[in-house]
Structure 1
């Protein structure tokens, strides 16, 4: 086992991909000499050179478009967008080009492109740099959406994403970069098709992903002390959703809480809730509960930001609200 961080695990995943396949290259703002806005690509320029670690102009539409062209030309680009809000400047390229070319070409043109970006709030970056928009992108057919929540997934999701013939977006929650832990020395690719049960439980299913997985596991610890067994499921892949794992868990526990840092209206949490109602309505013993961010631009002040985001206490309260008095055990 090797002690590492989420940030270092992502760097190692890129180093591994660059070594494995000469077609792989990284491009984005400040990914080269600066080492990346969040230090993820530090040292890669010195190891692989400027042909494969490419600093780009400050134009997301230009370098995402260039990445699409490179993918169409047979390369395997990793495009880094600094933060998720900047991806909106390349939305036309992502939605109207990368996601549609396979279909509009009658299956002739795959776009094997990986786009990495930082998402999420909780770091006092105010309204313009604290979005959780992965649910928006999960709305778009033609894209695969990944949200690594653990060091193992941060290390192991990139290579299978690069081998996917279609575009993949990886959302890295900014609060996780300093997450420290151990990683097996032989760590490699992970499953990007199925959700992961991070904690087993029999009383309630709690669905989450990305930056709220840690808060949800902490809430499960609190609930366990009260005799409530919460099953925590990390979605990992937001599109396509692993409905089978979600529904199977709800069938066992008969209760569901969805934790989503996105805004509640039109959210990924709403989509998951709808699918469970469609497929397992008569298995539910209580209404589905959702824990989402307050529907306001994310505040800068720390106490206001914390109040606006899903917190461990909010998750505990939501679960308690679904439980009959007889479930709590000493």
Structure 2
């Protein structure tokens, strides 16, 4: 029933209406929380965002780019929209398609594109995720740059066979005679505060088991534009999961011109010496707050925070090098604990860093239950749960 409501929804200022009740933009998209121990929390107060042009110099990746076109203040959904527009302008074979994308999509990521580029390049599809994936594979195999949207990441499962048995294996199966490497599948993912079991899931780990797919999750507007353009141009099929709670949570100064950020390369967003903390997507901000609390409450400790960004292939070298320095590792993600991608990171680090570890690798994850609505706060690996885990690792 909920699926029907979403696919035949009303839109209030670009926001989906749930069961006939309009929710305000701030209620749906704000990721700011009440102060914790006197410390402001949430994305709105993050020190990781690029809020001014001067702060671009803090990013070694952006420093290396020729950014002469200036900057524009944008949130994450606007950065995604800008990346799609950039791709459509630069590549006349590129097309954008999915449910409701012609009028802008549920989260407005494609707003204005159909009018600008025409309905032959930006168009709606029937409500069939398997069909969207199959159509994208076919277009990419015939040389088009296919950019598909799954309306919610939770809806990607009907397309699972197409993605893991066709898209992932097409090049291998044909001995490189054919491939669908020009396929990118975007999908809003993760918790938003009221999505419950069918609109809150983080399915990235399912797809890392299928050789041939790349999986990417951005944390901010600057990251979203650069990583999405890199994904669209990568010669492999890419799943690009966008944490929907971040769409309107905060703004950054996003370069106006075309730029790419490297896939398969993690970013050390905060250096440290005592414990390595790894996450991706919206989880980065919960980890940032937990680190701020830990360094305040446990004087003398220094935490290194790594944004994995690309889940597959993930940056083993950066994480291993960090753990060899700190001797401790904590991984956090919203997906369930069992068989979440944190387990892969933990196993790999144990293999490479066994003699360097001063404590067992710790995971802070979602629970092994369907995503609850009323008990979402207990499910989420938030700042407090992560802070408690940091204390446990440091006192081992």
1:39 corresponds to 2:108: yes
Aligned to 2:41: none
Question: By how many angstroms is 1:185 displaced?
Answer: 3.3
Question: By how many angstroms is 1:186 displaced?
Answer: 4.5
Question: By how many angstroms is 1:2 displaced?
Answer: 2.3
Distance 2:336 2:208 in 1: 14
CA RMSD of aligned residues (A): 1.2
Distance 2:147 2:369 in 1: 32
Distance 2:192 2:83 in 1: 25
Distance 2:167 2:94 in 1: 17
Query: Per-residue displacement from partner, 1:277-310 (whole Å, max 9, x unpaired)?
Result: 1111110000111000111111112xx1011110
Aligned to 2:349: 276
Moved more, 148-157 or 268-277: 148-157
Secondary structure of 2:185 counterpart? strand
1:213 corresponds to 2:284: yes
315, 318, 326: which one pairs with 2:386? 315
Question: By how many angstroms is 1:184 displaced?
Answer: 4.1
Moved more, 159-168 or 252-261: 159-168
1:50 corresponds to 2:123: no
Map 1:239-318 onto structure 2 (within 5 A).
Answer: 239-301=312-374, 304-318=375-389
Secondary structure of 2:291 counterpart? helix
Secondary structure of 2:219 counterpart? coil
Runs of 4+ in 1 over 6 A off after TM superposition: none
1:5 corresponds to 2:75: yes
90, 93, 96: which one pairs with 1:23? 93
1:231 corresponds to 2:304: yes
Question: By how many angstroms is 1:182 displaced?
Answer: 2.2
1:193 corresponds to 2:260: no
141, 156, 163: which one pairs with 2:211? 141
1:129 corresponds to 2:202: no
Secondary structure of 1:282 counterpart? coil
Distance 1:185 1:207 in 2: 26
Map 1:173-188 onto structure 2 (within 5 A).
Answer: 173-186=243-256, 188=259
Distance 1:193 1:103 in 2: 21
Contact 1:122 1:306 in 2 (8 A): no
Question: By how many angstroms is 1:138 displaced?
Answer: 1.4
Query: Per-residue displacement from partner, 1:208-262 (whole Å, max 9, x unpaired)?
Result: 0112011111111112213221100000000011000000000010000000111
Contact 1:3 1:182 in 2 (8 A): yes
Distance 2:208 2:222 in 1: 22
Contact 1:122 1:305 in 2 (8 A): no
Question: By how many angstroms is 1:145 displaced?
Answer: 0.5
Q: Unpaired runs of 5+ in structure 1?
A: 326-330
Count of residues in Structure 1 that have an aligned counterpart in Structure 2: 322
Distance 1:258 1:185 in 2: 31
Distance 1:160 1:39 in 2: 21
Distance 1:181 1:230 in 2: 25
Aligned to 2:179: 110
Query: Per-residue displacement from partner, 1:98-127 (whole Å, max 9, x unpaired)?
Result: 001101001211212000001111421111
Q: Unpaired runs of 5+ in structure 2?
A: 1-70
Query: Per-residue displacement from partner, 1:62-97 (whole Å, max 9, x unpaired)?
Result: 121111000000000100001112110111110111
Distance 1:219 1:139 in 2: 30
147, 155, 161: which one pairs with 1:78? 147
Secondary structure of 1:157 counterpart? helix
Question: By how many angstroms is 1:157 displaced?
Answer: 1.2
Secondary structure of 1:265 counterpart? coil
Distance 2:253 2:144 in 1: 29
Aligned to 1:328: none
Q: TM-score, normalised by structure 2?
A: 0.79
